[in-house]
Chain A
Amino acid sequence: MVRFENVGLRYGQGAEILKDISFSVTKNSFQFLTGPSGAGKTSLLRLLFLSLRPTRGLISLFDQDATRLQPNEVAAIRRRIGIVFQDFRLLDHLTAYENVALPLRVAGRDEASYRGEVVELLGWVGLGERLDALPPILSGGEKQRIAIARALIVRPELLLADEPTGNVDAPLAKRLLRLFVELKNMGTAVVIATHDVALMDQFDAPRLVLNDGRLYYDR
């Protein structure tokens, strides 16, 4: 599904922040991506959802060379990926319901065909009563849950989450982790970037550890 071979990344003329990164993500897999702050976790995630292009090496996504994709092919691949941003990236003028439904709306689906799914998912993440709330009046945890619901609503083949439990309490973090595991069991490959050791200890999964721009496996 995803293959990185000797991938390097530098911003402009600066030093390489990711060096010789090689790993693969297979279907139905679950991996944590961890490392100290500034180790390059977010940059690696950005490479994974094609927001950045590597300065060297090969990235293959869904059997396509990521460096040779046309804009429309990039869009098509992104529709197979669900992403949860650390800073949520919600649209403040849309309600919680509309934010979660956005990927389906963009895909051209009729609202009647997805309304039930969106309401159910929002209910599952504990926001069933806040369908019409706008993000500016929601707490950080609530925004995070909306961001997660938005990533999950399309039933992605690959889920990338950047610190998805950073703003929620421990019980909800546990619940969300259970949701991610359930997704993995349904065939979705899950990569969760986190430095929350307690969270990682709750589920036995391979850990990709980034340190000083290099990637190490910790099983």
Chain B
Amino acid sequence: MSIFDAIFAKGSAGRTPILPRETVTGSTLLAVVAIMSFLAALTVGAVRIAQISVNEWRGELANEMTIQVKPAEGHDLDVDVKNILETVQRISGITEARVYTKEESEKLLAPWLGSNLDLGALPVPRLIRLKLGDQAAISALRAVLETIPNAALNDHRAFAARLTAISKTAALAGFLILVLVLLATVLSVSFATRGAVAANRPTVEVLHFIGARNSYIASLFQRHFFRVGFRGALLGGAVAVLLFVIFRFSGRLFGAIAGPGDAAFLLTSFNLDWRGYFEIAAAVLLTALVTALGSRFTVISTLRNID
């Protein structure tokens, strides 16, 4: 007896199922459910990974700010930067303040202005990068900078808002894909169920004549289809989990040799947390339940036509 049979076996072991198993279950439906479950699990996992990445980026942004010091007439930019740096370093809650060197600024601007850039010829603003240990420092920082007309604080709020929007869009897209996958599952199961009811019509008629309720007959089909759905969903979910584990492993490999500028560096964030695995398990269970319920409703509506 397989583990599945052990799970689904009825109390009275040895009794022949009222519906012959070979007329109901099919490897084709198992494959369809497995594929649907794989897609559902993949979608859920991908959305979770996107959320994890966005949360990480957002967390980093929340503790990091930049002061932009613009060149102003009658001011020495280096002196301004030095004064501002000394001022902000005195504010409690700021753990680190570092001026971007000219070379670093050139590197930042290189993608737009080219690599052979002479910053001395351009009125390029200077940047002071701050790390905050306490968010309360922001108001003090703003108060200080208000008195310096050529300095502006960039708290990355706009970028953080875009990240939030991306995260929400990813979640919504994932949800829609999940709904479509489940809908496709229901339709597949519905076709399979109609076929199974048609194949078992003589049995269904006998059950009707001996007084079986439609709900009882539906439960017979539902049990079969839940078994198929559970097996298929488990198979699809397992393949998806395996894929995420491979991603994680390969991400570590690539991450070890890749730098921040490489595409492979992105793979290092393909780590699914326990919540992600739990959501995949929920998607697998949902696929199995949808399979069972889809068959139940199809059987009940078909039985109404038969009787």
Chain A residues close to B by CB (< 8 Å): 49, 51, 71-72, 74-81, 83, 85, 89-91, 93-95, 98, 102-103, 105-107, 110-111, 150, 154
Contact = CB atoms under 8 A, between A and B. Distances in A.
A106 B209 contact: no
B304 interface: yes
Contacts of B205: 89
B59 interface: no
A98 B213 contact: no
Interface string B80-96: 00000000000000000
Given A91-B18, A93-B16, A71 B214 contact: yes
Nearest to A110: B12
Contacts of B15: 98, 105, 111
Contact of B210 (A51, A78, A94, A111): A78
Contacts of B110: none
B307 interface: yes
A71 B304 contact: yes
26 contacts: A51-B209, A71-B213, A71-B304, A71-B307, A75-B208, A78-B209, A78-B211, A85-B209, A89-B202, A89-B205, A89-B209, A91-B203, A93-B20, A94-B16, A98-B16, A102-B206, A102-B207, A102-B210, A103-B210, A105-B18, A106-B18, A106-B211, A106-B212, A111-B12, A111-B15, A150-B210
Contacts of A110: 12
Nearest to A106: B212
B304 A102 contact: no
Nearest to A151: B210
Contacts of B100: none
B191 interface: no
Given A71-B307, A72-B213, A76-B211, A89 B12 contact: no
Given A71-B304, A89-B205, A79 B211 contact: yes
Interface string B227-250: 000000000000000000000000
Contacts of B207: 102, 106
A49 B205 CA distance: 12
A105 B210 CA distance: 11
Contacts of A105: 15, 18
Contacts, number: 63
Given A74-B307, A103-B211, A111-B15, 7 more contacts: A51-B209, A71-B213, A75-B208, A85-B209, A93-B16, A98-B15, A102-B210
A71 B211 CA distance: 10
B24 to A, nearest CB: 12
Nearest to B303: A71
A5 B213 CA distance: 28
B216 interface: yes
A153 to B, nearest CB: 10
Contacts of A89: 202, 205-206, 209
A160 to B, nearest CB: 10
Contacts of A102: 18, 206-207, 210
B211 to A, nearest CB: 3
A150 B207 CA distance: 12
A75 B207 CA distance: 10
Nearest to B203: A91
B102 to A, nearest CB: 84
Contacts of B20: 93
A83 B206 CA distance: 10
B18 A83 contact: no
A95 B14 CA distance: 12
A76 B213 CA distance: 8
A106 B216 contact: yes
Contacts of A111: 12, 15
Given A89-B202, A91-B203, A91-B206, A75 B16 contact: no
Contacts of A79: 210-211
A184 B25 CA distance: 44
Interface in B237-286: none
